[in-house]
């Protein structure tokens, strides 16, 4: 993200999706966890539901994708990065999917509940 985008997010609480996609994600230990690959919106509720994180692999080969509840991410106050409060080992064991395979059904509330629970979040449709 550009410096002005961070200021916009901080000041107004809004940021362009195009500035978030491709953004680096770190954990509280400042370990690199990957990059935001995609954003998933719940059109019925008009909410940002998930960020899809690309993690692992080398030069884009062998990456695994993870759907993260949007609420599990925070914007860094000091860097142009997003923070996911998850240990790298927990992320490695998280339910994920291959980008070239069939993606999960993001509208499936049972699947969504399991993802939110894994990351310690309440499902956004219950909030």
The structural domains of the chain, ordered by start, are 3-126 (2.30.30.240)
Residues of the chain with pLDDT > 70, as a percent, come to 85
Flag the least confident range among 3-12, 37-46, 78-87, 94-103: 3-12
Task: Output the six-digit token pair for 68.
Answer: 């993260």
| Residues 66, 115, 34: CA angle, nearest 5 degrees | 25
For the chain, strand residue ranges (E) read: 24-26, 32-42, 47-55, 64-69, 73-75, 82-84
Whether this model's pTM surpasses 0.75: yes
Residue pLDDT, tens place only, 111-123: 999 999 999 999 9
Residue pLDDT, tens place only, 45-90: 999 999 999 987 655 556 889 999 999 999 988 888 999 999 999 9
């Amino acid at each position: 993200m550009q410096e002005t985008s961070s200021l916009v997010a901080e000041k107004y609480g809004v940021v362009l999706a195009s500035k978030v996609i491709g953004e680096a994600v770190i954990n509280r230990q400042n370990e690199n966890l990957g990059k935001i690959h995609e954003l998933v919106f719940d059109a019925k509720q008009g909410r940002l539901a998930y960020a899809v994180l690309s993690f692992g692999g080398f030069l884009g080969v062998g990456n695994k994708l993870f759907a993260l509840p949007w609420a599990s991410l925070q914007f860094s106050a000091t860097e142009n990065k997003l923070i996911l409060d998850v240990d790298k080992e927990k992320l490695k064991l998280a339910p994920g999917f291959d980008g070239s395979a069939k993606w999960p059904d993001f509208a499936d509330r049972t699947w969504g509940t399991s993802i939110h629970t894994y990351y310690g979040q309440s499902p956004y449709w219950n909030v």
